[in-house]
Amino acid sequence: MMTTSSEADHSTPHQGGHHVQGSLLGLAVSAVGIVFGDIGTSPIYAFRETFNGHHRLAPDPMHIYGVLSLIFWSMMIVVTIKYVSIIMRADNKGEGGSLALLALINRKSPDAKWSTSIVLLGVFATALFYGDSMITPAMSVLSASEGLMVVNPGFEPFVLPISVAILVGLFMIQAHGTAKVGMLFGPIMVVYFIVLAVLGLMHIVNAPEILWALNPWYAYKFFLVDGVKAFLALGSVVLAVTGAEALYADMGHFGRNPIRVSWLFFVLPGLMLNYLGQGAMIVSMDPATAATAITNPFFLLAPDSFRLPLVILAIMATIIASQAVISGAFSLTQQAIQLGFMPRLRIAHTSARAAGQIYIPTINWALMVMVITLVLMFRSSSNLAAAYGIAVTGAMFIDTCLLAVVLFVLWGWNKPVAVAALTMFLIVDVAYFAANLTKVPDGGWFPLFVGLIIFTLLTSWSRGRKLMMERMQEAAMPLSIFIKSAANSASRVPGTAVFMTSTPEGVPHALLHNLKHNKVLHERVVLLTVRIEDVPYIETGNRCSMSDLGQGFYRMMIRYGFMEEPDVPAALKTADRCGAAFNMMDTSFFLARQTLLPSSRPGMAIWREHLFAWMLRNAESAMEFFRLPTNRVVELGSQLEI
């Protein structure tokens, strides 16, 4: 019924792509609202956790300068150079993200010996993203709500209930779409980043020497003087760059140039001014006051009368950041379904104008349960920080591995230049990942555990689906023989029969069963396969292909990109090489529903076969997934051993 493809290399620059429309300034403002929400809320907790987290540092000038230097150069190497300057050039017809990059690599080099390991890396990066999408809303909303305790310590008992209420409300509105709310995201985040910059500048003018922290010497001195603590501090410093992968994943919504402009000329300066302001404030205090202030320096940047408005603005920013991650989970799930890594799930479009705005109930409610569980289990953002970071650093490391394939195989970079760039990225990625491994006993196990479960589900589905198709092909009858024997012997009845089949060769099981039990054939028989290509979008003119098999039999292929939602009736209306036009009231769709029987045949472990069978039973029906008219569908069951 649905297959994936990595065959043809669509080399035309924009073939199958989609063009982002709008002015550079307008798209840049929108990008500020959607793309930079996660990394933009990092100042609320990143600097604080480096000093006040599980591996405490004394808030003295040496450590403050060292940490600020690490934050700045992490932003420059990881975000500016790696993602903004290099990885964002590796787009798949305008789309970004680990799965889009994986599809690009497979399409450009389908016969490479290392393709299996690359696929597994890309799938694991996807699995880690789901762990991150659970932690980000919990961490962001909880840390912003804790600002109420800075305003008034009496708010402490209400922080947890307020955080849970905000998160429940956030997930409840997903079904209604975020188009209207999204219009406010850009302006709110623009105000938020301006406030970050102003608050930072207010304290930098009192201690301008803090600007020396931009010198990499202070990061080096930190390691030289206090090597072990500097290494452990990396586990918290990395919180300043969480969300960097979102720049690449959301590239398809805005284009690379608006994201680059927003980052270089607005977001990066705003973030660094705030971090430097926090450092300037602490370094200007006496040691006793600094030790108290370091517990929540972000909110202390504001004068007393402005702290409550700052808390409200921070909560709004964290809601926006959480919304971006949730939307990203929906988008990634759609890609995974189309590329054959997940079973069919119900996907609802929440906007008639924006195809990218989708809602997946199963993912939404699963995320909500896990996010609320995290908040109630860890109870504070400092405790939750122990779980935050390992999924992000793991995904960043995998992106570097995929980038290596792009540089050497797809782009053919000069080897010394490519090796130098990759070495720098790998040193940073490995250092951050290793530092975050020390968090595993304190909560870092959670995203790894979630990632392992999702990786098992994704790979079991992909492998089981491949085995199922192989078993079906083994039992398939050659179509030419079937047509000769059945076309003249069976009774023909008026109308059109469309038999959905996942394999473009052989006779579909549903056709054999229909002939066996009903002993009739329709005047027009169409064997239809929906194929998902390794490009985000397929041009309408290339959507359908048709071949006349004779005797009223036709073979049809309908192609979609991995960012598109299949709509078979709409595609059939455009078909003009299959006799008369398709009339839905005169067309019957036949589907085969397989009941899997796990067996000891080589292929997968028995427990994985049972897991695949369970996923298949719970997948959305092909009727709903392909938007087939409910009163024109006939399902025929069969049993299959894998």
Could you read off the pLDDT of 23-42 as tens digits, one per residue? Answer: 777 777 777 877 888 888 99
- Whether 586 and 518 share a structural domain: yes
Is 562 a domain residue? Answer: yes
b/e map 168-197, b = 16+ CB within 10 Å: eebbeebeebbeeebeebbebbbebbebbb
Q: Which of 441, 463, 485 is the last residue of a domain?
A: 463
Write down the pLDDT at residue 7: 35
- Both 455 and 486 in one domain: the answer is no
Q: What is the pLDDT of residues 454-506, one digit of tens each?
A: 999 999 998 888 888 777 777 667 777 788 777 677 788 898 999 988 877 77
- Which of 370-374, 554-558, 583-587, 602-606 comes out lowest in average pLDDT? 602-606
Average pLDDT over residues 214-224: 94
pLDDT at 289 over 50: yes
Residue 534: domain span = 477-641
> How many CB atoms are located within 10 Å of the residue 434 CB?
13
Beta-strand runs (E) in 365-429: none
Residue 407 predicted with pLDDT over 80? yes
Closest CA to 455 of 85, 94, 121: 121
Of 113-117, 138-142, 296-300, 549-553, where does mean pLDDT reach its minimum?
A: 113-117
Q: Does the structure show a pLDDT above 80 at 176? A: no
Same domain, 545 and 615: yes
Query: How high is the pLDDT of residue 566?
Result: 87
pLDDT for residue 22: 58
Position 17 scores a pLDDT of: 44
User: In the listed set 415, 430, 463, which residue is the last one of a domain according to the structure?
Assistant: 463
Structure tokens at 453: 């479960």
* pTM of the predicted model as reported, rounded to 2 decimal places: 0.82
pLDDT at position 6? 38
At residue 529, the 3 state secondary structure works out as strand
Output the six-digit token pair for 194: 């301006």
* Residue closest to 523 by CA, chosen among 580, 590, 484, 574: 580
Q: What's the average model confidence in pLDDT over 194-213?
A: 94
Nearest to 242 by CA among 100, 391, 90, 401: 391
Enclosing H/E stretch for 590:
strand 587-597
Residues 459 and 484 grouped into a single domain: no
Q: Is residue 4 part of a domain?
A: no
**Taking the CA atoms of the chain, what radius of gyration do you get in angstroms?**
27
Task: For residue 223, tell me if it sits in a domain.
Answer: yes
Query: Average of pLDDT values for 246-266?
Result: 82
Mean pLDDT, residues 85-105 taken together: 79
- Residue 183 has a pLDDT of 63
How much is the pLDDT for 19? 47
Question: Model confidence at 110, in pLDDT bands (50, 70, 90)?
Answer: low
Alpha-carbon gap, residue 378 to 251, rounded angstroms: 33
- On whether the CB atoms of residues 464 and 263 are closer than 8 A, the answer is no
List pLDDT tens digits, range 552-591: 888 999 998 877 888 898 888 877 666 677 888 888 999 8
Residue 318 reports pLDDT greater than 60:
yes
For residue 95, the 8-state DSSP code is: B
The distance between the two most distant Cα atoms of the chain, rounded to a whole number of Å, is 97
| pLDDT of 16 over the 50 cut | no
Mean pLDDT of 305-334: 87
Q: pLDDT (tens digit, 9 = 90+) per residue, 496-535?
A: 999 988 877 778 878 888 887 888 888 888 999 998 887 7
Residue 355 has pLDDT above 60, yes or no: no
Mean pLDDT, all residues of the chain: 83
Could you tell me which residues come within 8 angstroms of residue 391 by beta carbon, excluding any fewer than 6 positions away? 128, 129, 131, 132, 135, 447, 448, 451
Determine the pLDDT at residue 213.
94
Helix, strand, coil percentages for the chain (3-state, nearest 5): 65, 10, 25
Q: What is the mean pLDDT of residues 607-614?
A: 87
User: What does the pLDDT read at residue 622?
Assistant: 81
pLDDT in the model for residue 15: 37
C-beta separation of 104 from 92 below 8 A: yes
Which residue type occupies 440?
V
Residues 546 and 610 in one domain: yes
Q: What is the mean pLDDT of residues 179-190?
A: 72
For residue 116, pLDDT over 90 is answered with no
Residues 539 and 441 reside in one and the same domain: no
pLDDT of residue 177: 66
Residues 412 and 438 in one domain: yes
481 and 624 housed in the same domain? yes
The reply to whether 18 falls in a domain is no
d(CA 370, CA 391): 15
> pLDDT at residue 186 above 60?
yes
For residue 10, pLDDT beyond 60: no
Q: Same domain, yes or no, for 441 and 587?
A: no
Q: In this structure, is residue 75 part of a structural domain?
A: yes
Q: What is the pLDDT of residue 579?
A: 62
DSSP at 457: H
Is 618 part of any domain?
yes
Whole-angstrom Cα distance, residue 293 to residue 380? 18
| 626 within a domain of the structure (yes/no) | yes
Torsion of CA 317, 323, 324, 327, to 10 degrees: -170
Domain of residue 142, CATH code: 1.20.1740.10
Is 282 a domain residue?
yes
If you average pLDDT over residues 434-461, what whole number do you get? 89
Q: What pLDDT was estimated at residue 300?
A: 92
- Is there a single domain that holds both residue 459 and residue 542? no
User: Based on the domain organization, do 374 and 239 belong to the same domain?
Assistant: yes
pLDDT confidence bin for 211, thresholds 50/70/90: very high
Q: What is the tally of structural domains in the chain?
A: 2
- Which of these three, 411, 433, 463, is where a domain ends? 463
In this prediction, residue 357 carries a pLDDT of 66
Same domain, 436 and 583: no
> Which range among 75-79, 181-185, 397-401, 578-582 shows the weakest confidence by mean pLDDT?
181-185
- Segment 162-171 shows an average pLDDT of 92
pLDDT > 90? residue 399: no
